[in-house]
Amino acid sequence: MMLERARQRLRSAQRVVVMTGAGISAESGIPTFRAAQTGHWARFRPEDLASPDAYRRDPETVWAWYAGRCRGVQAAQPNPGHLAMAELERRQGKGFLLVTQNVDGLHQRAGSRRPAELHGNLTRARCESCGLKQPLNAQEPFTPPSCPHCGTVMRPDVVWFGERLPPLALAQAEAAFSSAHIALVIGTSSLVEPAASLALLTLDTGGTVIEINPEPTPLTPLATFSLPMSASRALPALLEGWS
């Protein structure tokens, strides 16, 4: 059985890297960026809500959009997939890195310690002048805050259209996938670069790639094991029987 073979391979691996995408958080009720564009927000182009130009032009509208999304993720709860991921990190110890494309912070709330966030985190604000980051409380008045250190108007700590991924997070991800014995790719379409090609680094160096996704993706025919399951089912199942 493919699940059992993947479980055995994972159990014996010393270095494990994981990539998670929107699929793992969808089970907690978190919509994707475009799925969240309903009602009033449906009339906006994505670039009108998530780009540096949009923020310079109309910061209040951009913050109103992120306020709604932030309230949604703060009301959501980690699901069994998030919890199993935190348990996998605990068992693997130093030979583990979680890389996520999600911006909802649910991995941290489930117990994951230091995920590499490729797209940032919408529950934080960031100052572009001095680099200060601070958490947001979406239940309080949600307007563009000023940096308490230098006074500059802060922005959501997320990667916008036209911006590069955080260099440190990307470098961590590339190093981990290049040296991993096992790469788990969970709930991602494997379409958005450069994240989509990271699993190929593991395959190129002789490692094993386990894909978890109910739907086929471009990675499916290349993966060592492809489990057509939800994250909340597959991840706990992969950890079954571990001491």
Residue 226's domain is classified under what CATH number? Answer: 3.40.50.1220
Q: Write the DSSP assignment of 230-242 as a string of letters.
A: -HHHHHHHHHTT-
How far apart CA 46 and CA 143 sit, in angstroms, is 20
What is the structure's pLDDT at 198?
Answer: 97
For residues 76 and 132, the answer to whether their CB atoms sit within 8 Å is no
180 lies in the same domain as 233: yes
Q: Where among 158, 186, 215 does a domain terminate?
A: 158
Q: Is pLDDT of 38 > 90?
A: no
| Confidence tier at 65 by pLDDT (50, 70, 90) | confident
Taking residue 215's Cβ as centre, other Cβ atoms within 10 Å add up to 9
What is the structure's pLDDT at 12?
Answer: 92
| Confidence tier at 239 by pLDDT (50, 70, 90) | very high
145 lies in the same domain as 204: no
Quote the DSSP letter at residue 16: E
What is the structure's pLDDT at 209?
Answer: 98
- Residue closest to 225 by CA, chosen among 189, 196, 199, 204: 199
- Catalytic residue at 181? no
89 lies in the same domain as 197: yes
Helix or strand holding residue 156 (H, E): strand 155-158
How far apart CA 196 and CA 190 sit, in angstroms, is 4
Taking residue 236's Cβ as centre, other Cβ atoms within 10 Å add up to 14
Average pLDDT value for residue range 113-140: 88
Task: Identify which of 49-58, 110-119, 135-144, 150-159 has the greatest average pLDDT.
Answer: 110-119
List pLDDT tens digits, range 82-91.
Answer: 999 999 999 9
227 lies in the same domain as 174: yes
Give the torsion sign (CA, 151, 154, 157, 163).
negative
Q: Is pLDDT of 81 > 90?
A: yes
Q: Is pLDDT of 142 > 60?
A: yes
Q: Copy the structure tokens of residue 37.
A: 């564009």
6 lies in the same domain as 58: no
Q: Where among 158, 185, 205 does a domain terminate?
A: 158
**Identified catalytic residue from 40, 119, 149, 181:** 119
| Confidence tier at 229 by pLDDT (50, 70, 90) | very high
Name the residue range of residue 218's domain: 2-29+78-119+165-239
What is the structure's pLDDT at 63?
Answer: 87
176 lies in the same domain as 88: yes
Q: Which of 37-51, 69-83, 128-142 has the lowest mean pLDDT?
A: 37-51
Whether this prediction's pTM lies above 0.85 is answered by: yes
Q: Is pLDDT of 141 > 60?
A: no
Encoded amino acid at 72, one letter: G
Q: Is pLDDT of 51 > 60?
A: yes
Q: What is the mean pLDDT of the chain?
A: 90
110 lies in the same domain as 127: no
How far apart CA 196 and CA 79 sit, in angstroms, is 24
For residues 8 and 232, the answer to whether their CB atoms sit within 8 Å is no
- Residue closest to 20 by CA, chosen among 135, 119, 162, 161: 119
Pairing assessment for the beta strands 16-20 and 182-186 based on DSSP bridges: parallel
Q: Any idea what the CATH number is for the domain that residue 46 is in?
A: 3.30.1600.10
Interacting residues of 95 by C-beta distance below 8 A, sequence separation 6+: 13, 14, 15, 16
List pLDDT tens digits, range 178-187.
Answer: 999 999 999 9
**Domain count within the chain:** 2
Q: Which of 3-12, 54-63, 158-167 has the lowest mean pLDDT?
A: 54-63
61 lies in the same domain as 44: yes
Taking residue 146's Cβ as centre, other Cβ atoms within 10 Å add up to 13
| Confidence tier at 204 by pLDDT (50, 70, 90) | very high
Q: How many helices (H) and strands (E) does the chain have?
A: 9, 9
